[in-house]
């Protein structure tokens, strides 16, 4: 089978830039060569595409670290009692896994890597609005990450990634302060990226690309950026208050000093619930791109998908209390939060139905990115539907803080966001590097990831419903078979990710040339520039000739 | 009613469990239906409209929008989620409104054990004993960080806070022993902050209460101490076989010269043990973390005497 969308030769009505410059007869210089070759040319680059690559490298390191911690957790949980680590070490492991995966990996992942690379290209801009601020965000990300990683060397926090007070204000672990300073700094990276994207989308769209002619990926990133800018400061203030309390004994959350620990939970979730949508909205954007490109269909219900992103972004600010149904809130507060939680489920459902119907009468290609998109639909549907159970008050009382919650958010975050990220990487990889990966090995990686993921986490729905609390170093014997099965699955999942990473890495140097538009897609990054793109994205100004999904009007030429 | 565990859910041991379970199972079946619908359509469309090799790319002919369809898949889910919202809220209110005739028991959470005190003055640790067919009101608070009182079989869970009281209630019609967990992460031994809820028939409960309320007599101080060593949760962190747990083993400590984290040293005697029970962080044995909670107000003088006698009996490596 071919690596690309091979079809019988057909006439193209749209001109795709030739990889070879007709004037010189040589391949066009691209951003990988044009900006210079040395390390300095990368560390001081202002090119959004190079900054995306910098993020790709650093965020991959974070994902690898977080993944290692995950596997160590599953090793320990294979059987009850001590396997490799004692309770204190285990508590540090799950804290590090959570904190690294959330703050260093999943929040920046899609916006900072793929958003940075794709957003200016898709709207026909030469770069983001503030290239220097963009580079600064990356440095701030690295700086914040160093604090978080330094905390591991000091002793590692054992508070859980949520840093709940008063445990975090009284815990003997000295690493709470560096870890939370890291989180505080990382927040600025996120805010700057969001700000940059908002301005870029408003000001730099190529002539002709009106709001409702933008690719849905842009809508997803735009909605995300709004949350990044509005919600992240609250997290910054919250961890700053926590640091003040620990360092100077100023009583805010710790009742021993006159504070209120539940206030911390309100502050924390006021950011961290919208943050869930920072993680998933850009992934939803990717899925809209993949499903249309590989079914050759105009997206079904464009405006509904676009507006549902905005609806999610707005309502997401009003549902934080559903993390606190048993924390002692008043009944009226709990009722309102439950109601709004069900309201936010509707726009997600709208998207899922629209994506599914987009497949109808399409011309569907089972490429690697498409398989990730279909897995997203499968897994995100489970993640979303189990959200209904924990949004239901009486049922959540039973399920709260059990493995059911752990399974639910892994289905949304890994089954949703990470599957979308993988699909996006396999989709845009030929554009970023100009080279195509090995399809067979990519499929092996995909199937192991999909099977391993379900083995690891579906088991945890059952564990949780049967009452297994989360963050337990040891557990009752009755839970062992399911825990053991989950641990086996986690290693299959880990191998799947490893194979995919190797496939992508090898392709960078050894893949065969991919051509400008290997998928025959219709968004500007495929139709108006080469692979890899030239330094300022387009020769001259990008021309808006047709909508992003006008497969009913234009036959894109598959160029190899 | 059937109380046995199902594939999804544990034993249903309380009066609210059945309503919670039916709400849960309704959502499970509804979700299964929608999952099969979406994934079924996805697989069907993907297969039916797959591009066959040699196919030409066709200009798209399918529909691109339909207000009717959008209204359908907004309207139907909206109605369904409103049903489960109301159903869930009603069940929740049943869990919140404590019946007037409830028996009140004070629950204290602290790192890392539960203690229960009864109106009669009886106290227990890590074991809540209650009569069947009687609503039980739990008035709960924490001595340190946030804990959460969770009995899966009763489908109840409530965070236990250090700065105010929280309340939960349950009624069980089924005598038996049910698992109690701490569900809110509370530090090193969070996973061992577990216990049992024992539901007894009325007559048995009455005699248990009478027995527990009366002074413990007839035991030698050493045996009494050994009993307290288990019932007051010393056993969670201190072994009696010489192997270190979260705290030093009790084996052979009495009369031993011990080094402390601050560099000082001391021979372990009665006063040191008493101080370590009431102010555990005053002198921390070298090599251990200062994580032991205070037992001030938890143990009586008589109980401390018993524990000291028990530890003394382990001195010198021979019981």
Q: What is the residue extent of each domain of chain A?
A: 31-527
Q: Does residue A141 sit at the B interface (CB-CB below 8 Å)? A: no
| pLDDT bucket at B211, cuts 50 / 70 / 90 | confident
Q: Which of B 95-154 lie inside 8 A of A, CB atoms?
A: 95-96, 144-146, 148, 150, 152-153
Tell me which of 3.30.300.160, 3.40.50.10140, 3.90.700.10, 2.60.40.420 is the CATH number of domain B103-213.
2.60.40.420
The residues near A340 (Cβ < 8 Å, ≥ 6 apart) are A315, A318, A319
C-beta neighbour count of A294 within 10 angstroms = 29
Q: Which of B 181-200 lie inside 8 A of A, CB atoms?
A: 181-192, 194
How far is the alpha carbon of B239 from chain A, nearest alpha carbon, in Å?
15
- Range with lowest mean pLDDT among A6-20, A162-176, B302-316: A6-20
Candidates B9, B39, B60; nearest CB to A297: B60
Can you name the CATH fold of B221-317? Cytochrome Bc1 Complex; Chain D, domain 2 (1.10.760)
pLDDT single digits (tens) A117-150: 999 999 999 999 999 999 999 999 999 999 998 8
Residues A313 and A281 sit within 8 Å (Cβ to Cβ): yes
Please give the C-alpha separations between residue B271 and each of A254, B226, B267, B294, in angstroms, as whole numbers.
32, 19, 10, 15
Q: Give dist(CA A494, CA A449) in Å, integer.
A: 7
Q: Is the pLDDT of residue A477 over 90?
A: yes
Token pair for residue A548?
Answer: 């992003």
Interface predicted TM-score of the whole assembly (ipTM), two decimals: 0.92
pLDDT at A559: 60
CB contacts of B52 in chain A (<8 Å) are none
C-beta neighbour count of B233 within 10 angstroms = 24
Peptide bond into A126 cis (omega under 30): no
pLDDT at B64: 84
pLDDT at A30: 87
pLDDT at B317: 43
pLDDT at B216: 56
Go through chain A and tell me how many residues it has.
Answer: 560
Q: Give dist(CA A353, CA B10) in Å, integer.
A: 34
Q: Give dist(CA A120, CA B109) in Å, integer.
A: 55
B21: nearest CA partner in chain A: A395
Q: Is the pLDDT of residue A160 over 80?
A: yes
CB contact under 8 A, A471 and B159: no
pLDDT at A9: 37
pLDDT at B218: 62
Q: What is the DSSP string of chain B?
A: ---S--SSS----STTHHHHHHHHHHHHHHHHHHHHHHHHHHHHHHHHTBPPTTPPPPPP-S----HHHHHHHHHHHHHHHHHHHHHHHHHHHHHHS--TTPEEEEEEEETTEEEEE-TTS-EEESEEEEETTS-EEEEEEESSS-EEEEEGGGTEEEEE-SSS-EEEEE--SS-EEEEEEE-S--STTGGG--EEEEEE-HHHHHHHHHHHHSPP-SS-HHHHHHHHHHHTTGGGT--SSS---SS--STT-TT-EEEBTTS-EEE--HHHHHHHHHSTTSSPBTTS-S-PPP-TTTS-HHHHHHHHHHHHHTGGG--
Q: Is the pLDDT of residue A11 over 50?
A: no
pLDDT at A263: 94
pLDDT at B316: 59
pLDDT at B278: 86
pLDDT single digits (tens) A207-263: 999 999 999 999 999 999 999 999 999 999 999 999 999 989 898 999 888 889 999
pLDDT at B312: 86
CB contacts of A338 in chain B (<8 Å) are 85, 88-89
CB contact under 8 A, A388 and B290: no
pLDDT at B2: 67
CB contact under 8 A, B191 and A473: yes
Q: What are phi and psi for residue B110, nearest 5 degrees? A: -155, 160
User: For A295, left (φ over 0), alpha (ψ -120 to 50), or beta?
Assistant: alpha
Closest CA to B252 of B234, B266, B268, B265: B268
Q: Which of A 60-99 lie inside 8 A of B, CB atoms?
A: 87-88, 91
What is the pLDDT averaged over residues A178-203? 96
CATH 3.40.640.10, applies to A31-527: no
What is the percent of chain A with per-residue pLDDT over 90, rounded to a whole number? Answer: 80
Mutate to test the interface with B, among A252, A293, A366, A392 (most CBs of B within 10 A): A392
CB contact under 8 A, B38 and A359: no
Q: Give dist(CA A516, CA A421) in Å, integer.
A: 21
**Given strand B123-125, what is the order of strands in its sheet?**
B123-125, B113-117, B103-110, B136-142, B166-170
Q: Is the pLDDT of residue A27 over 90?
A: no
Q: What is the DSSP string of A177-236?
A: HHHHHHHHHHHHHHHHHHHHHHHHHHH-PPTT--GGGS-HHHHHHHHHHHHHHHHHHHHH
CB contact under 8 A, B54 and A8: yes
Mutate to test the interface with A, among B190, B197, B292, B294 (most CBs of A within 10 A): B190
pLDDT single digits (tens) A502-550: 999 999 999 999 888 999 899 999 999 998 999 899 988 898 988 999 8
pLDDT single digits (tens) A345-365: 999 999 999 999 999 988 899
B68: nearest CA partner in chain A: A301
Between β-strands B127-131 and B195-200, what pairing exists: parallel, antiparallel or unpaired? parallel
Q: What are phi and psi for residue A364, nearest 5 degrees? A: -90, 130
Q: Is the pLDDT of residue B4 over 70?
A: yes
CB contacts of B165 in chain A (<8 Å) are none
Q: Give dist(CA A120, CA A49) in Å, integer.
A: 9
Q: Give dist(CA B26, CA B87) in Å, integer.
A: 10
A253: nearest CA partner in chain B: B163
CB contacts of A335 in chain B (<8 Å) are 89
How far is the alpha carbon of B197 from chain A, nearest alpha carbon, in Å?
15
Candidates B62, B152, B187; nearest CB to A167: B187
Residues A165 and A242 sit within 8 Å (Cβ to Cβ): yes
Residue where the block lists tokens 């997803």: A220
Q: Is the pLDDT of residue A90 over 90?
A: yes
Residues A381 and B77 sit within 8 Å (Cβ to Cβ): no
Residues A228 and A193 sit within 8 Å (Cβ to Cβ): yes
pLDDT single digits (tens) B145-192: 999 999 999 999 999 999 889 999 999 999 999 999 999 999 999 999
Candidates B69, B74, B152; nearest CB to A346: B74
How far is the alpha carbon of B164 from chain A, nearest alpha carbon, in Å?
9
CB contacts of A339 in chain B (<8 Å) are 85
Q: Give dist(CA A84, CA A88) in Å, integer.
A: 12
pLDDT at A26: 76
| pLDDT bucket at A20, cuts 50 / 70 / 90 | confident
Average pLDDT in chain A: 92
Q: Higher pLDDT residue, A312 or A153?
A: A312
Domain boundaries along the sequence of chain B = 103-213, 221-317
Candidates B77, B92, B145; nearest CB to A170: B145
What is the pLDDT averaged over residues A62-78? 97
What is the pLDDT averaged over residues B82-86? 96
pLDDT at A8: 35
């Amino acid at each position: 089978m071919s690596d690309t969308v091979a079809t019988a030769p057909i006439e193209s009505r749209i001109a795709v830039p030739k990889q070879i410059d007709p004037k010189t007869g040589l391949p066009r210089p691209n951003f990988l060569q044009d900006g210079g070759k040395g390390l300095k040319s990368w560390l001081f680059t202002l090119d959004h595409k190079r900054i995306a690559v910098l993020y790709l490298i650093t965020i991959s390191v974070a994902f690898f670290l977080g993944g290692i911690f995950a596997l160590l957790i599953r090793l320990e949980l294979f059987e009850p009692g001590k396997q490799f680590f004692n309770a204190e070490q285990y508590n540090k492991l799950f804290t590090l896994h959570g904190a690294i995966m959330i703050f260093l990996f999943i929040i920046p992942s899609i916006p900072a890597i793929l958003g940075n690379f794709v957003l200016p290209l898709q709207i026909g801009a030469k770069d983001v609005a503030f290239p220097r601020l963009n580079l600064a965000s990356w440095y701030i990300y690295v700086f914040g990450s160093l604090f978080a990683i330094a905390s591991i060397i000091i002793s590692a926090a054992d508070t859980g990634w949520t840093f709940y007070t008063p445990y975090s204000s009284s815990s003997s672990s000295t690493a709470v302060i560096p870890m939370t300073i890291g989180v505080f700094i990382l927040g600025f990276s996120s805010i700057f990226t969001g700000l940059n994207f908002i301005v870029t989308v408003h000001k730099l769209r190529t002539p002709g690309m009106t709001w409702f002619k933008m690719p849905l990926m842009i809508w997803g990133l735009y909605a995300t950026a709004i949350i990044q800018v509005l919600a992240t400061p609250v997290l910054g203030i919250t961890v700053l208050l926590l640091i003040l309390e620990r360092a100077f004994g100023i009583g805010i959350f710790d009742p021993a000093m006159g504070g209120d620990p539940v206030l911390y939970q309100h502050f924390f979730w006021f950011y961290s619930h919208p943050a869930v949508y920072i993680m998933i909205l850009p992934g939803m954007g990717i899925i809209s791109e993949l499903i249309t490109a590989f079914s050759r269909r105009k997206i079904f219900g464009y405006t509904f998908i676009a507006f549902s992103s905005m609806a999610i972004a707005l309502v997401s600010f009003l549902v934080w209390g559903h993390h606190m149904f048993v924390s002692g809130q008043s009944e009226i507060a709990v009722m309102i939060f439950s109601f709004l939680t069900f309201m936010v489920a509707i726009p997600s459902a709208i998207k899922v139905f629209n994506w599914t119907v987009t497949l109808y009468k399409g011309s569907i290609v089972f490429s690697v990115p498409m398989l990730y998109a279909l897995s997203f639909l499968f897994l995100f549907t489970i993640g979303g539907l189990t959200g209904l159970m924990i949004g239901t008050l009486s049922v959540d009382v039973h399920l709260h803080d059990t493995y059911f919650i752990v399974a639910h958010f892994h289905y949304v975050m890994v089954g949703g966001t990470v599957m979308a990220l993988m699909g996006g990487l396999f989709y845009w990889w030929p554009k970023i590097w100009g080279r195509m990966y090995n399809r067979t090995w990519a499929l092996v990686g995909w199937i192991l990831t999909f099977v391993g993921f379900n083995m690891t986490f579906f088991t945890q729905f059952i564990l949780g419903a049967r009452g297994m609390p989360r963050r337990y170093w040891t557990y009752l014997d009755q839970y062992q078979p399911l825990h053991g099965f989950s641990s086996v699955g986690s290693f299959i999942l880990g191998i799947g990710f490893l194979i995919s990473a190797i496939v992508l890495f090898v392709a960078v140097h050894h893949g065969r040339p991919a051509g400008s538009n290997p998928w025959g897609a219709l968004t500007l990054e495929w139709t108006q520039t080469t692979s890899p793109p030239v330094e300022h994205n387009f020769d001259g100004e990008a021309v808006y000739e047709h909508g992003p999904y006008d497969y009913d009007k234009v036959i894109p030429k598959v160029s190899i | 009613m059937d109380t046995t565990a199902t594939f999804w859910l544990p034993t249903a041991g309380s009066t609210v469990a059945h309503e919670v379970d039916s709400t849960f199972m309704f959502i499970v079946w509804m979700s299964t239906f929608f999952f099969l619908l979406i994934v079924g359509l996805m697989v069907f469309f993907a297969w039916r409209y797959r591009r066959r090799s040699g196919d030409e790319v066709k200009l798209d002919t399918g529909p691109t929008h339909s207000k009717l369809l959008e209204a359908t898949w907004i309207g139907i889910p909206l109605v369904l989620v409103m049903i489960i919202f109301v159903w869930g809220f009603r069940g929740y209110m049943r869990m919140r409104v404590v019946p007037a005739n409830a028996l009140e028991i004070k629950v204290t959470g602290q790192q890392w054990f539960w203690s229960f005190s009864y109106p009669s003055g009886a106290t227990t640790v890590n074991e809540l004993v209650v009569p069947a067919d009687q609503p039980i009101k739990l008035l709960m608070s924490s001595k340190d960080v946030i804990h959460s009182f969770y009995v899966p079989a009763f489908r109840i869970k409530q965070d236990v806070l250090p700065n105010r009281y929280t309340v939960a209630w349950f009624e069980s019609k089924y005598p038996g022993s049910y698992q109690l967990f701490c569900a809110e992460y509370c530090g090193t031994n969070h996973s061992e902050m577990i216990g049992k809820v024992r539901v007894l028939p009325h007559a048995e409960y009455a005699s248990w209460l009478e027995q527990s309320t009366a002074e413990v007599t007839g035991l030698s101080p050493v045996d009494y101490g050994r009993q307290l060593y288990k019932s007051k949760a010393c056993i969670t962190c201190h072994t009696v076989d010489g192997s270190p747990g979260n705290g030093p083993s009790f084996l052979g400590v009495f009369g031993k010269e011990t080094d402390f984290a601050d560099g000082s040293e001391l021979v372990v005697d009665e006063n040191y043990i008493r101080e370590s029970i009431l102010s555990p962080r005053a002198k921390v044995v070298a090599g251990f973390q200062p994580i032991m909670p205070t037992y001030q107000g938890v143990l009586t003088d008589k109980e401390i005497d018993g524990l000291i006698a028990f530890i003394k009996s382990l001195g010198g490596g021979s019981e």
